[in-house]
Structure 1
């Protein structure tokens, strides 16, 4: 997947490819956090149909049919919602769908929390919930509104992966390979122990809903992305072990001052910052906040 050229400390094509993947995965985890943590708005629809989202999905779409279909679905949706009346009607339908999935109103059809699928008795608080909380504590974050929102809500788990993914980008830019490996290993373990252990079941239940509008398609894409990202983490870790750690351990990313050789727009940080600024109704109920180390 990656390899080092003889360019040594220079930004090689392989390094650039790795950086784009790290950026795209951080963007998508943040997008899924916003999607499942806050109610839909016109601004969210603009983000879904925008170039930042299309480019992030495009990094992975060539390797996964579900992600490719989602990219096409969102691009068509953007064109279809050019008409203001149609757009407002669609946002209303998405709002109803969001409430049904994430608030369980008027009837709980699915539950967006890990413990429900893994506790054995459909409990919303179990050892699984506590294990997720312990994982958060290791990285000095906790839910902002605990106990109002369970630790293992899908929005919070996406937020956690987004935090670690962005930290991994920063470690890469600093060429702090030891920290990068630690972060990649943590994300791989969280995916194995938690995300991959329940999101497929959640997605399967959501797909049973009649007249899907937006969220069933995106939850299916989340399932596909998490699975693909897990393999991606393996590939990056292997590349680091076999190539970078041996040939480029101490080299700065873009020169002797250690600054990146690309702009924030080109390296994906600009897209992340734009997405980070998106505020949705009730998103504050599904966010992680720093704790005292």
Structure 2
């Protein structure tokens, strides 16, 4: 396997990690400062314009001293505070979008947990989120991506390809099943261009990554 492919896997893992962090909790000062130095206005791995990243970058470029508070309020409004269970609310759990009664801890959570355990992962005592939370599903893709890169760097092509196929299957069976609806709800409910852009960026990256995996894993 080429060094270029391994480097691409490292970059993809880093993007999954960043997305997982952004959906896990509010942005703090350190993260906000680091985000300002990232090339968010660039292109997707396939070279196409990334509208979501452009919106995020535009918000960061224009943000003032109240950005931390403004983003924290938007995060809470989108993902934590619920005044009513509405169809368009941006619940960050797969079960809400794949169950008929729009509740968490449904069958999707059990399937996701089985996927984690198939790779030797299980819930730790400090794990407070349901297993089908978007940040945990993204962390799982990050882990698979990192493990694939390590396997290929070590010359274990069979294991590397197995992990690439696993990534593709998890996208098909889970993330790409529900994130289009989740991203749309974010774009409707967000009050800042940052989180509006994050919804778009999430979907753009996952769709682009699926195309990339089709090229290298098949």
Corresponding residue of 1:60 = 45
1:79 is displaced (CA, Å) by 3.9
Counterpart in 2 of 1:41? 28
Secondary structure, counterpart of 2:66 in structure 1: helix
Pair 137,210 (structure 1): closer, same or farther in 2 beyond 3 Å: closer
Paired residue total: 215
Structure 1: any 5+ residue segments left out of the alignment?
A: 1-10, 239-293
- Structure 1 residue 188, shift from structure 2 partner: 0.7
* Distance (whole Å) between structure 2 residues aligned to residue 104 and residue 117 of structure 1: 18
Specify every segment of 5 or more residues in structure 2 that has no aligned partner in the other structure, as ranges.
Answer: none
Match of 2:72 among 80, 90, 95: 95
- The residue that corresponds to 1:149 in the other structure is 129
Q: 1:111 to 1:146 in 2, by over 3 A?
A: farther
Q: TM-score, normalised by structure 1?
A: 0.67
1:80 aligns with 2:57: no
Note the C-alpha offset of 1:227. 0.9
- In structure 2, the CA distance between the partners of 1:147 and 1:90, relative to structure 1 (3 Å rule), is closer
Aligned-residue CA RMSD in angstroms?
2.4
Q: Give the 3 Å change call, closer, same or farther, for CA 42–60 of structure 1 in structure 2.
A: same
Label 1:31 to 1:56 Cα distance change in 2 as closer, same or farther (>3 A).
Answer: farther
In the alignment, is residue 132 of structure 1 matched against residue 112 of structure 2?
yes
The answer as to whether partners of 1:49 and 1:77 remain within 8 angstroms in 2 is no
Larger Cα-atom Rg: 1
In 1, are the aligned partners of 2:148 and 2:160 still within 8 Å (CA)?
yes
Deviation digits for residues 145-179 of structure 1, max 9, x if unmatched?
58842110001101111111111111121121011
- Determine the structure 2 residue equivalent to 1:278: none
Equivalent in the alignment of 1:19: 6
> TM-score under structure 2 normalisation?
0.88
Shift of 1:77: 4.4
Structure 2 match to 1:160: 140
Deviation at 1:56? Answer: 11
> Deviations for 1:21-53, whole angstroms, at most 9, x for unmatched residues?
211110110001110112111111122222xx4
Give the Cα separation in 1 of the matches to 2:111 and 2:18. Answer: 24
> Which residue number corresponds to residue 149 of structure 2?
169
